[in-house]
Amino acid sequence: MDKMKKIIIYLEWGSILGLTFCVIWIFLILPIESSQGFPQKIMYLHVPTFIATYLAFFVVFAFSIAYLWKRDLMFDQIAKVSAEVGLIFCALLLVTGAIWGRPTWGTYWVWDARLTTTLLLFLIFMGYFLLRMSVSDRDKEARLASVLGIIGCLDIPIIHKSVEWWRTLHQPSTLFKVESGKASPSIPQELLNPLLASIIVILVFYLYLLILRFQSEKRKEELNQLITETQF
Amino acid sequence: MKTRTKFVIGGAVILAVIVALSVQELQKMTVFFYTPAEVLASPAEFEEKTIRIGALVEQGSVDWNAQAIQLSFNITEDGENSINVIYAGVKPDLFREGQGVVVEGKMNGPRFEARQLLVKHSEEYTIETDHKKSKEEYYKSIMSQ
């Protein structure tokens, strides 16, 4: 237990110092991007947020399958807390996207494929928690939630490919751009480095939230166990 | 009403919204915008309908009337099929010649009357070689506005 506490403190300070470092780098040192100007800086929050969202829901996907396979409630707990953190990041993704869209596109929101499928992911996982709350039997809850979790995560590849499959207002991916079989992000190194740094920091932050939430979830279940035991 | 019933109803409403949105949007979003060539090829089909057209702003076609607050420009994708767009509103920050735009509105004869003008920005990012100068100029341009 003490070891876990230590890891949490490391992750906590890692995210605090990392975020401070990135903010200083992005706002005080980085040059201004030529076509968009200052609004481009929200990219350093928007892009890491979408990567954290992808990762969080990939964890949901993997641990939902693991639960259905092994029927170990711990896997379900991990899927649940990752979905919670993922939902927060997804909300942040929609909000930062809207803030970025206003000065560049001229609108907060359009119903194009990228934005609509992202909103869909958000709504699916709102439903996921409603489903969890509505089932009182713990095993049944885990089973149903795992199935919905797996189906919901299938939206992730659709979101990612939406800008290539359909005509959208949202631009194609900068970071994962592939030219003649080779990865070639269309952004100068000087702007790319802080982006990679912020991605790492946000992923550390995700891990911190995940572990913290997992600990509290575990204790809650232990407490529930004790309550049911003492009642009889 | 039992708490459980409430959750079931809430879940059903959300699910219904999701399904309705997906069905409706999946049909529309495959054509978030048309190209000028598509619109010009079958004008009868697009008449009196609110549509979006996406293309590039033609070089040298932008006419900004500050008195009437009216913007006129041509959009084209291939340089051949070009449509004149009238937009009653201010120029968006990133609006310039050669920039990708999406306009929403109706065709009125040969002209397109836009209700909304969106700028489609590119996924390519660049910086000036002289950082310090460009930064100073940028802040100055903001302050003077």
Q: What confidence tier does A71 reach under pLDDT thresholds 50, 70, 90?
A: very high
Please state, in angstroms and rounded to a whole number, the distance separating the CA atoms of residues A97 and A116: 12
pLDDT at B27 over 70: no
Provide the pLDDT for residue B30. 65
Cβ within 8 Å, pair A188-B126: yes
Provide the pLDDT for residue A143. 94
Provide the pLDDT for residue B25. 67
Provide the pLDDT for residue B60. 87
Please state, in angstroms and rounded to a whole number, the distance separating the CA atoms of residues A95 and A89: 10
Provide the pLDDT for residue B133. 65
Q: Identify all chain A residues contacting B124, using CB atoms and an 8 Å cutoff.
A: 174, 186-187
Structure tokens at A181: 């079989």
| Residue pLDDT, tens place only, A13-37 | 999 999 999 999 999 888 888 888 8
pLDDT at B49 over 70: yes
| Residue pLDDT, tens place only, B85-100 | 999 988 888 888 888 9
Give which of A112, A120, A195 to mutate to test B binding, by max B Cβ within 10 Å.
A112
Do B50 and B4 fall into the same domain?
no
Do B18 and B35 fall into the same domain?
no
Please indicate, yes or no, if residue B112 is contained in any of the structural domains: yes
Cβ within 8 Å, pair A169-B11: no
B11: domain range?
1-30
Please indicate, yes or no, if residue B139 is contained in any of the structural domains: no
Do B66 and B82 fall into the same domain?
yes
Cβ within 8 Å, pair B123-A172: yes
Q: Identify all chain A residues contacting B13, using CB atoms and an 8 Å cutoff.
A: none
Cβ within 8 Å, pair A190-B142: no
CB B127 within 8 A of CB B100: no
pLDDT over 90 percentage in chain A:
69
* Nearest to B51, CA basis, from B115, B118, B142, B122: B115
Please indicate, yes or no, if residue B66 is contained in any of the structural domains: yes
Do B105 and B57 fall into the same domain?
yes
DSSP conformation letters of B108-130: ETTEEEEEEEEEE--S---B-SS
Please indicate, yes or no, if residue B134 is contained in any of the structural domains: no
Please indicate, yes or no, if residue B137 is contained in any of the structural domains: no
| Residue pLDDT, tens place only, A144-180 | 999 999 999 999 998 998 888 888 889 888 888 887 7
Collapsing DSSP states into helix, strand and coil, what is residue B66?
coil
Provide the pLDDT for residue A1. 63
Provide the pLDDT for residue A109. 93
Question: Could you say which of B8, B22, B120 has the minimum Cβ distance to residue A169?
Answer: B120
Domains contained in chain B, number: 2
Q: Identify all chain B residues contacting A119, using CB atoms and an 8 Å cutoff.
A: 21
Least confident of A103-117, B10-24, B94-108: B10-24
